[in-house]
Structure 1
């Protein structure tokens, strides 16, 4: 048995020893929250659902093979970064200066190790580089040219910045620039704040959790703006009892330290996962003027997917290997029938 002072030290880090029954591996993903209405073309909707399904299947295959939650998160997010329907990797939105600047982070809940990159322009899969920062450097976050120099030093091939460009994202920027020139507020919320960030959280067969997030940021962003996605604790966080990836108006996720706040409620205050996530995403952030969503997973395999926007690209896959994908706010994502976390008072204290 661990000495009492060791348990207190672990608890302070959010890694308190909690006894959990054996659970099946679980993977949950998101592809952004925002103005997602039922006016998508059938072809676009089919492509988004197919990409989400591939991401779930690729990540789940790693879990079924006994790989780590980190491997599942990396695999799932790589699929979404490669798909132009999402604001991450290829298909990232443009800055005010007409560039694509990419951010990503990943965190291992078992060890609290983490890696992140910000403002990179030539990295095909930022989540892979974030994983390398965690695994191969003593640092947590690298940015811009330095992050790309590190990528080259470990043999990662850089791509031409034109790789990330899509016509749709370019037109979103042109519309925003026209509104800027006319000193008009951005009438189109999707143009002003595109919520297409991708994220994943996973629980592996060893009971370990991981979280990852990747994004192109905001359309028309200026001055090297960095949002919450690559900031450990804000848009991405995992410990031994909880993993969270957020998507939404990043400034508010930073100010509330949203992902960390959810996990501290779960692991330290013993708040059930769904309540903890809803309190932060649907109460604290909107009270400050922000919006968005998140995916959260606890060490017992409970899932929470709160959001306060019209819709959210979301999906999950459990022990039966069946992928569940939903896009719209009124669409059943299959989580309602899952076992719910125990009330706070019935959870054993460490």
Structure 2
């Protein structure tokens, strides 16, 4: 009797799908996220949003002046200008909290985008000369133009950050290979050193400029009113939209320029879009609150520790983690030195350094 058992077809067998077959959108190992994992990550975002709301309430309630919680509620719902406590809440604490939220969102997203674009796990606002550019034009505004108010020189800080960033990118883009990650880092270091030397030279010759500048340089949320907070909104909103939409671009760039180009990405255009987002976000935040340390450096690593390497999740997590940390540090600075306060830039550095060391010990930071 003839054997009717089916025999496998001859010829080359079908190859198993490549781990990269899912493309840069795959969150880990090329496998698409399951519904359970997506639900878990969405739940994490909800919890972070609740944490941000809670720390915002604390930021409005705590300060050098003791204000009852009922008075805080009245200041927000039934404001009485004759009540001094309500005036403190409305004119000082609410704008300060708003600036903290805006600056936190901006620094978290900007740090994440910068690390993705440069493929450098140590990238922060200083690597592209943002802090140095903002500092130089602020000193120029104080020393040459005689501008002494924060609301006056904040625009010079923003312009300086933007000019420095585009200068760094222009220098890095010279040559056949274009703006590679190494070129960006080297040109950023060179421009930062040059700008810092000019800033220092001006400050050494003008004591008044130094006194006004050092309050901005330490990084602080105190003294920021609505005249500073509201102008930041359109810049940070536009930058945040660009950053959140760049998740696929950053996933592709993480695979390397050649692979990203092979996947159909225009590498140069992608970097320009991401760089524009960084300028809008980090320029506005640095100009308003000063060069706050460690937020843009640590937050992306914290987000990746939770979500994995997929930038479509890393970006929204960074946008919520950063203001929670920034406002929490600001509240802590008010509590530990009551009735005075420790500036938030000092507190974030004290918190961020050990957190970053712990992340270094747990994870290989080079794997972006």
Q: What TM-score do the two structures reach when normalised by structure 1? A: 0.29
Of the two, which has the highest radius of gyration? 2
Name whichever structure is richer in strand by fraction. 1
Q: What TM-score do the two structures reach when normalised by structure 2? A: 0.28
Higher RCO, 1 vs 2 (CA within 8 Å, ≥6 residues apart) = 2
